[in-house]
Amino acid sequence: MAKTDLIDSHVSAKQCTRAVHALHAYALKKQKEQEENELLPSNEQYVWLQITVKRMHPEHKIKPFKMYVSLLFNGCTIVTFPSPLKHPLIDPRVTPICLITKDPQREYKDLLESHKIKFISRVVGITKLKGKFKSYEARRMLLKENGMFLADERVIPLLPGLLGKKWFDAKKQPIPVCLTRKDLKGELERAIESTYMHQNRGTCTSVKIGLLSHASEKVLDNIKISLPAIVNNIKGNWDNVQSLHIKTNSSISLPIWTCELGGATGGRWDGMVQSKDTFEESNQMKILIPTIQTWIRRNSCRKCRLARKPLNEIVEKSVTPKEVKQKRSTEGAEKKKAKIVKGGPTRSAKGALIGKKPGRP
């Protein structure tokens, strides 16, 4: 395949286009089903790029990675700069944007007015976040009313405890911005138009690369811009990437690239050697597993072996409280009858000494 047909010299542009067309067909089918059964329209769905790595990242970072593009000359990096997506995911004219700042809140409102920034819908300070939006209902309304959250990079470490897990479940984590820059308007515009990778400790990470309403050409343009920057932020770069998929919020993931599943250079098991401790443990387990299975077979179902019935034939019947009471009363009546048959009620030791007849006070 020609290099012009490959994204970052690895991913087939043709395969990406086919996957996006399949996602559009699936979404159209689901949309028709929802229109027949639901009255309210569903929310806009994103197209996600799902990255699976071979080795897990050692730490979890609160601040996301902003996608940067490197300017190369003769194979050497000259400068790196933020690269907004060619087709942004957020439109400030339609989607409200909230900015979380340090205290005092009024100072930053005046700062936005002095720079003639009008695409920020709401400014919330830390004090107001602790007071007015302390209750769960107020935070839920704040989350619902705004489509994107920006935050001063100096208060980012405080926000997970103040906002709660609902922000992370809704994939609306606050994006860090620097409010002390001279070109504040450009900083906020680049933050809104960019996409971000939230690094976790697992082997799978998802990045927003488009909207389902975008044409396949627009999604492909965003993949071409974001994929090199995403791989550069992964430890080991392409050597550590196992597979790439694209999906929507509710669809299955469709593969667009996978590494070789072998031990060759660049393969799944390249550079991975089994340690001696792991080898010895696996050998011990091979010896222990048959022994454990034999013990379970001999001791776990003794009742079945005595009755000579298979396990599926033994079904314990549930007993109601009424049946338990009847059973106890029947057993008590049988014990009384047994005493009468043997010779009636016997005297107690004290009654025998004082000469009282049994049954009298």
Q: Give the per-residue pLDDT at 150.
A: 92
User: Measured between alpha carbons, how far apart are the two ends of the chain, in Å?
Assistant: 108
Q: Are 300 and 306 in contact (CB under 8 A)?
A: no
Q: Give the per-residue pLDDT at 287.
A: 66
CA angle 137, 139, 143 (to 5 degrees): 115
Q: What pTM did the predictor assign? A: 0.63
C-alpha pair distances (Å), 304 with each of 43, 309, 324, 353? 55, 5, 25, 54
Q: Would you write out the chain's pLDDT as a tens digit for each of its 361 residues?
A: 555 577 777 888 888 888 888 888 888 888 788 777 776 666 778 888 898 888 877 766 666 766 644 433 344 433 334 556 788 888 888 889 999 999 888 999 999 999 999 999 999 999 999 988 888 888 889 998 988 899 998 998 888 888 888 888 888 888 889 898 888 988 898 888 888 887 777 888 888 888 888 888 888 888 888 888 888 888 888 888 888 999 888 888 888 888 877 666 656 656 555 555 555 556 666 666 666 667 666 665 555 554 444 444 444 455 677 787 888 888 888 877 776 665 555 555 555 555 555 555 4
Two tokens, residue 148: 């994107």
Tell me the β-bridge partners of 77.
Answer: 72
Q: Give the per-residue pLDDT at 100.
A: 93
Burial class (CB in 10 A: 0-12, 13-18, 19+), 223: buried
Centroid of chain to Cα 329: 56
Q: Give the per-residue pLDDT at 265.
A: 63
The 3-class secondary structure across the chain, one letter per residue, is CCHHHEECCCEEHHHHHHHHHHHHHHHHHHHHHHHHHCCCCCCCCEEEEEEEECCCCCCCCCCCEECEEEEEECCEEEEEEECCCCCCCCCCCCCCEEEEECCCHHHHHHHHHHCCCCCCCEEEEHHHHHHCCCCHHHHHHHHHHCCEEEEECCCHHHHHHHHCCHHHHCCCCCEEECCCCCCHHHHHHHHHHCCEECCCCCCEEEEEEEECCCCHHHHHHHHHHHHHHHHHCCCCHHHHEEEEEEECCCCCCEEEEECCCCCCCCCCCCCCCCCHHHHHHHHHHHHHHHHHHHHHHHHCCHHHHHHCCCHHHCCCCCCCHHHHHHHHHHHHHHHHHHHHHHCCCCCCHHHHHHCCCCCCC
Q: Give the per-residue pLDDT at 293.
A: 65
Cβ count within 10 A of residue 179: 19
Q: Are 44 and 212 in contact (CB under 8 A)?
A: yes
Burial class (CB in 10 A: 0-12, 13-18, 19+), 125: buried
Tell me the β-bridge partners of 175.
Answer: 150
Q: Give the per-residue pLDDT at 249.
A: 83
CA angle 187, 207, 26 (to 5 degrees): 130
Q: Are 56 and 234 in contact (CB under 8 A)?
A: no
The answer to whether the Cα torsion of 26, 32, 37, 39 is positive or negative is positive
Burial class (CB in 10 A: 0-12, 13-18, 19+), 158: middle
CA angle 8, 14, 20 (to 5 degrees): 100
